[in-house]
């Protein structure tokens, strides 16, 4: 459903993958967490689609928005190979 909405309203091609099922558990800082709903990853691969997502939809969590904007800036200004070198050499925050 998310894929269809992104495509219809924003022209964004995407794919969703279920990564954890409801009831899955893991340790987070010494505390056991139980997932109440299935968890999904949204993958957007095309650069223009990522730019559209970041500029028109964005992330609620500010650190994720800033990380996405920084990644796009590096790619646009340095190209993908050089941006990847800089990214891997810096303190990396993963957008989840």
Better-predicted residue by pLDDT, 87 or 91 = 87
Residue 53's pLDDT is what?
96
pLDDT of residue 29: 85
Q: Single out the residue of 81, 83, 63 nearest to residue 71, CA to CA.
A: 83
Residues 9-67: pLDDT tens digits? 999 999 999 999 999 998 888 899 899 999 999 999 999 999 999 999 999 999 999 99
Q: Which residues contact 52 (CB under 8 A, 6 or more apart)?
A: 10, 11, 12
CB contact set of 25 (below 8 Å; sequence gap of 6+): 32, 33, 34, 35
């Amino acid at each position: 459903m998310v894929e269809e909405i992104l495509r219809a309203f924003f022209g964004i091609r995407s794919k969703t993958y279920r990564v954890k099922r409801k009831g899955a558990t893991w340790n987070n800082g010494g505390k056991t967490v139980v997932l109440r709903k299935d968890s999904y990853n949204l993958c957007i691969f095309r650069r223009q689609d990522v730019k559209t997502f970041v500029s028109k939809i964005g992330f609620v969590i500010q650190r994720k928005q800033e990380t996405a904007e920084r990644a796009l800036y590096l790619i646009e200004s340095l190209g993908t190979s050089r941006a990847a070198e800089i990214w891997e050499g810096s303190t990396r925050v993963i957008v989840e």
